[in-house]
Amino acid sequence: MGRLRLGVLISGRGSNLQALIDAARSPTYPAEVALVISNREGVFGLERARAAGTPTQVIPHRAFASREAFDAALDQALKGAGVDLVCLAGFMRLLTPGFVAGWRDRMINIHPSLLPAFPGLDTHARALAAGVRFSGCTAHFVRSEMDTGPILVQAVVAVRPDDTAETLAARVLEAEHRIYPFAVRLIAEGRVQVIGERACIAGASTETTVLLNPPA
């Protein structure tokens, strides 16, 4: 069986795209980046894709009269490239319900918080302001409402008393780069089944460890 074909949607620096590109360098990784689409010209993520020899397309949202027309262009490009799974990776456009429905359970996102806490922007500043002891990141299937959908993988990052939004973001980003390729692998290996609005993972851990922060 061939590798799962990924279509990665970006708007910026593309470090999560890079994590997927790097994972796919291994011949045993069950997915490959077939197409990278950016809604912005000149972003660093496009350079990363080109450096890896991955096909890119720039589809500038401003060139379209409506969100529906923009999403139709995305859809056409993804289908044209034979994409099996859409990976949002710092893609800063809201997608229309029709597009989201068309890629239901075939489109995932990476978000820098432990959803459902802190959806939206400025997650790290908001997590620090709330005084949470743990933050982290979430890979999830995409639903119409922003940053919702069945959760695939989460990573927990302990918050330090001296953290700033920047230091916390850096540690969470490292975790993102681990879990996003892992979430793709789970899907590509056929280990994920969406039942109701939960993603059930075959062979998931039965770990019962409790983490304390601060430690007792």
Does the annotation mark 111 as catalytic?
yes
Q: Which residue is nearest to ligand GRF (CB)?
A: 90
Let me know if 88 is exposed, middle or buried by CB neighbors in 10 A (0-12, 13-18, 19+). buried
d(CA 27, CA 95): 33
d(CA 145, CA 204): 27
Catalytic choice (111, 124, 140, 177): 111
The minimum distance between CB 210 and ligand GRF, in angstroms, equals: 26
The minimum distance between CB 43 and ligand GRF, in angstroms, equals: 8
d(CA 141, CA 198): 10
Look at the chain and count its residues: 216
Nearer to ligand GRF, 72 or 173 (CB): 173
Nearer to ligand GRF, 48 or 70 (CB): 48
The minimum distance between CB 130 and ligand GRF, in angstroms, equals: 18
Nearer to ligand GRF, 170 or 200 (CB): 170
Return the SS3 of 73.
helix
How is 188-216 classified by DSSP, letter by letter?
HTT-EEEETTEEEETT---------SS--
The minimum distance between CB 189 and ligand GRF, in angstroms, equals: 23
Nearer to ligand GRF, 21 or 34 (CB): 21
d(CA 103, CA 84): 9
Residues lying near ligand GRF in the complex (CB under 6 A) are found at 12-16, 45, 89-90, 110-112, 173, 176
Nearer to ligand GRF, 89 or 187 (CB): 89
The minimum distance between CB 176 and ligand GRF, in angstroms, equals: 5
3-state SS string over 89-127? CCCCCCCCHHHHHHCCCCEEEEECCCCCCCCCCCHHHHH
d(CA 173, CA 176): 5
* Active-site residue set: 111
